[in-house]
Structure 1
Amino acid sequence: MRRFLPPPSRLRAVIRGLAIGLLAVSLSACAMFEKKPEQLAPDEPADKLYNEGLTLVAKKEYKDAAKKFEELDRQHPYSEWARKSLLMTAYVKYEAGEYEECIAAARRYVTLHPGSPDAAYALYLVGASYFDQIADITRDQGRTERAIQALDEVVRKYPDSEYAESARRKITIARDQLAGKEMTIGRYYQEKRNYIGAINRFKTVVVQYQTTRQVEEALMRLVECYMAMGITQEAQTAAAVLGHNFPDSPWYKDAYKLLQSGGLEPREDKSSWISRAFKKLGLG
């Protein structure tokens, strides 16, 4: 799921300039002197380190760029350059695929500079790092949940930022992933004729993830499970809700045929948990 993640907009112009050699790197002229054993090496100017880091970013040499930004932070820890370098450290760690380091740097940025205009971008990097590590639905989805949490925070705290819309799209994909995990387990239970276990999983999709693409199949599987258990009223309700909300769905056609084979037709019981779950979101 990994995609190139652009840096903050105000940095993009700088990096583009670097790529064609237009960035003027300010170099401080330092007099050379003999180093005594007890002497420490003099600090390099912050702007020199920062611009060297940007030059490496333009070349996509992200690991070397990170070293420059980290050195700047070490040598000039309380400067404005250090604030900028911390954000760039998070960015280059992301591009290098070093997600845990990216998350650590980005969270540190948000903690130290919560009022910065770039705090939204730092938090977005956290969510994107988790998002890019989402595993397939047969594996643990802890990173998927953490991605949603971080990206949701971007949307809530910075709804007008340039990252909010991208965060929303990623949340949609991540929620569908979680719903898919529930469906996989539910289908397994259904195959084993553990209908109660299966219904509980499909119910989770219907209640918690009904805005995902998985909900149509979940409703159809509920029809199958309830029919297998002889609970026809709930089966009819699941089919009715499916048909009302997704009339053109092939899952509805299958549900309708299944009911017909038992001499039944879709009929909604308004008191059913299925009906109540959809009406809660205004879908029923």
Structure 2
Amino acid sequence: MSEARLPTRRRHASRGHASSFSFIRAALAGALALAVTGLAGCSSDDELPYEERPVEQIYNRAMDYMQEGKYNPAAKEFDEVERQHPYSEWARRSMLMGAYAHYKINEYDEAILGAQRFISLHPSNKDVPYAYYLIGLSYYERISDVGRDQKMTENALNSFYELTRRFPASEYSRDARLKIDLTLDHLAGKEMEIGRYYLNRHDYIAAINRFRIVIEKYQTTTHTPEALERLTEAYLALGIKTEAQTAAAILGYNFPGSDWYEDSYALLAGQGLEPVESKDSWISKAWNSVF
């Protein structure tokens, strides 16, 4: 999983010239280039006792905590900026910094809410691309193995898609595209697991429906060769030879040296058949729609 990198501000706030602050990119250990978005608000149990303080004092203390790697108190102080000075320039900056702090302590829902709020309040801000990226990361970090529900994977995918659609030239979009490939592969893996389950139970129609999803939606993933082989197996079991031959033919043409093709070829040969593509097959049409 990637970790967000924060474009940091100068450590201490200038009292008179809020607009003079600039984002300075800093490398965090093992981190990828990123930026910040934000959320305000702790739970009522964790809120700091209300003590009215100058905004610069609260913000600078939060920044000190950030530089010390104390993200929990940093998040609370950034939230306090928004609570005490909600319409200030520092409140906007604290949204950005606070979201990152929440992300660092695995408070992903808070980070998502803050990033969404930042986008809503400041849609033209230059850090909006990172807001979308942080939302995607906050889902991405919670992707579970293929044996479990994949809602987080789908949410991460949709968030990264939104980022790349709106800001295709952003540095965050470049990394998002890599994560899109990984999430697609993960979702394909989920379909394969379910398809294998049905295949082992000899529920061939249900199995085919799952492998079909892989061919139609995820055919650029690493699971495609196996999906074609499983289709060959399932269609042969149903006696639908033309579809089985087509699946094996496409497999052989695109993955000629794979073990999956050797298995498909052996299955066909066992029934005196050879791989032959039928252009009328849904497999052929689905494949040719992408490649």
TM-score, length basis structure 1? 0.87
1:178 — aligned with what?
187
Give the match's secondary structure for 1:163: helix
1:93 — aligned with what?
102
1:219 — aligned with what?
228
Alpha-carbon spacing, 1:42–1:193, altered in 2? closer, same or farther (3 Å): closer
Alignment-mate amino acid for residue 25 of structure 2 = R
Q: Do structure 1's residue 12 and structure 2's residue 25 form an aligned pair? A: yes
Alignment-mate amino acid for residue 245 of structure 1 = N
Q: Do structure 1's residue 246 and structure 2's residue 255 form an aligned pair? A: yes
CA contact 2:199–2:234 (8 Å) conserved in 1:
yes
Deviation for aligned residue 1:53: 1.2
Paired with 2:256 and 2:58, the residues of 1 have a C-alpha distance of: 61
Give the match's secondary structure for 1:137: coil
Alpha-carbon spacing, 1:132–1:113, altered in 2? closer, same or farther (3 Å): same
Alignment of 1:145-184 (within 5 A): 145-184=154-193
Q: Relative contact order (C-alpha < 8 Å, sep 6+): which is higher?
A: 2
What's the C-alpha RMSD, in Å, of the aligned pairs?
1.7
1:273 — aligned with what?
282
Equivalent of residue 106 in structure 1, options 101, 115, 126: 115
2:36 — aligned with what?
none
Alpha-carbon spacing, 1:278–1:67, altered in 2? closer, same or farther (3 Å): same
Deviation for aligned residue 1:44: 2.3
Deviation for aligned residue 1:92: 0.7
Which deviates the most, 252-261 or 111-120? Answer: 252-261
Alignment-mate amino acid for residue 149 of structure 2 = D
Deviation for aligned residue 1:51: 2.1
Alignment-mate amino acid for residue 231 of structure 1 = I
Paired with 1:190 and 1:59, the residues of 2 have a C-alpha distance of: 54
Deviation for aligned residue 1:81: 1.1
Which stretches in structure 2 are left out of the alignment for 5+ residues?
9-22, 30-49
Alignment of 1:35-74 (within 5 A): 43-74=52-83
1:140 — aligned with what?
149
Deviation for aligned residue 1:3: 3.3
1:35 — aligned with what?
none
Structure 1 residues 98-132: Cα deviation after superposition (integer angstroms, max 9, x where no partner)? 11111111111111111100011111110000011
Alpha-carbon spacing, 1:62–1:11, altered in 2? closer, same or farther (3 Å): farther
Give the match's secondary structure for 2:277: coil
Paired with 2:192 and 2:58, the residues of 1 have a C-alpha distance of: 51
1:22 — aligned with what?
none
Alpha-carbon spacing, 1:195–1:14, altered in 2? closer, same or farther (3 Å): closer
Q: Would you say how many aligned residue pairs link Structure 1 and Structure 2?
A: 257
CA contact 1:15–1:55 (8 Å) conserved in 2:
no
Paired with 2:57 and 2:65, the residues of 1 have a C-alpha distance of: 12
Deviation for aligned residue 1:15: 8.6
Paired with 2:74 and 2:51, the residues of 1 have a C-alpha distance of: 21
Deviation for aligned residue 1:270: 0.4
Q: Do structure 1's residue 3 and structure 2's residue 2 form an aligned pair? A: yes
Alpha-carbon spacing, 1:250–1:8, altered in 2? closer, same or farther (3 Å): farther
CA contact 2:198–2:204 (8 Å) conserved in 1:
yes
Equivalent of residue 123 in structure 1, options 120, 128, 132: 132
Paired with 2:55 and 2:182, the residues of 1 have a C-alpha distance of: 41
Which stretches in structure 1 are left out of the alignment for 5+ residues?
17-40
2:270 — aligned with what?
261
CA contact 1:62–1:95 (8 Å) conserved in 2:
yes
